[in-house]
Structure 1
Amino acid sequence: MTVTLVRPEKVYHRYTVYMADTTIKVDPAVRDRLQELARDRGLSMRDLLTELAGATPTKEELAARYAETKAYVEEHFLGRPYTEEDEKAGEELWAAVTSGRIGEVQ
């Protein structure tokens, strides 16, 4: 299926003064998937990609989030530094929760 966009020249010109267009080359299957996701959400593909980019944290943002969460847990729940043993116990608990064997973890 081919989709042809018709842009009124006057509107398009005013829009492009403020926005730069960039072409992203992806496999047709990826393009079709993005288009389907955009349609399901009632968005243009441009808006979908904007939403995805805004909602996806960088490595630095994830590291900052981890540090903030760790500090919060230490202050409000543990009252001591968060250790590797705490992390291992948390991972084991999460694995038990997701596998449905929550009663087996102590």
Structure 2
Amino acid sequence: MTVTLERPAAVYPRYTERMADTTIKVDRAVRDRLLELARERGMTMRDLVAELAGATPTQDELRARYEATKAYVEEHFLGRPYTEEDEAAGEKAWADVAAGRLGEIQ
């Protein structure tokens, strides 16, 4: 389905000078889902996609967040370097919480 929008000549050139449009081809189901999500939030699909992109960290951002968190834990909680044993204990604690075994966490 092709939709043609007519914009006043006075508005459209100013708009295109500031915005770079890109077409993203997705399945109809994905398009419909994005439209539904955007409508529920009272925004355009363009704004929704921008929000999703802004809220999704890159691998580099995730690594930087991990390193910052690790440094904070070492300084404020451990007083020593964070080890693989600490990580394994943390993973076990989360698994226990998820399984409802709160009393077994040390």
Both structures adopt the same fold (TM-score exceeding 0.5): yes
Post-superposition offset of 1:14: 1.7
- CA distance change for structure 1 residues 12 and 93 in 2, over 3 Å: closer, same or farther? same
What does residue 27 of structure 2 align with? 27
Post-superposition offset of 1:11: 2.3
Post-superposition offset of 1:7: 4.3
Q: Residue 97 of structure 1: SS of its match in structure 2? A: helix
Is 1:45 equivalent to 2:41 in the alignment?
A: no
Structure 1: where are the runs of 5+ without partners? none
Structure 2: where are the runs of 5+ without partners? none
Which segment is superposed worse, 29-38 or 95-104?
A: 95-104
| In 2, Cα distance between equivalents of 1:97 and 1:12 | 55
| In 2, Cα distance between equivalents of 1:3 and 1:40 | 24
Post-superposition offset of 1:95: 1.4
Q: Kindly tell me the number of residue pairs found equivalent between the two proteins.
A: 105
Q: What does the per-residue CA deviation read over 1:37-77, in whole Å, with 9 as the maximum and x for residues that have no partner?
A: 11111110000011111111100010001001000000000
- CA distance change for structure 1 residues 7 and 98 in 2, over 3 Å: closer, same or farther? farther
| In 2, Cα distance between equivalents of 1:35 and 1:50 | 13
Question: Taking every aligned residue pair, what percent have the same amino acid on both sides?
Answer: 70
Q: Residue 60 of structure 2: SS of its match in structure 1? A: helix
What does residue 78 of structure 2 align with? 78
* Large movers: runs of 4+ above 4 Å: 2-5
Question: Match for 1:32: what amino acid?
Answer: D
Q: TM-score, normalised by structure 2?
A: 0.89
Q: TM-score, normalised by structure 1?
A: 0.89
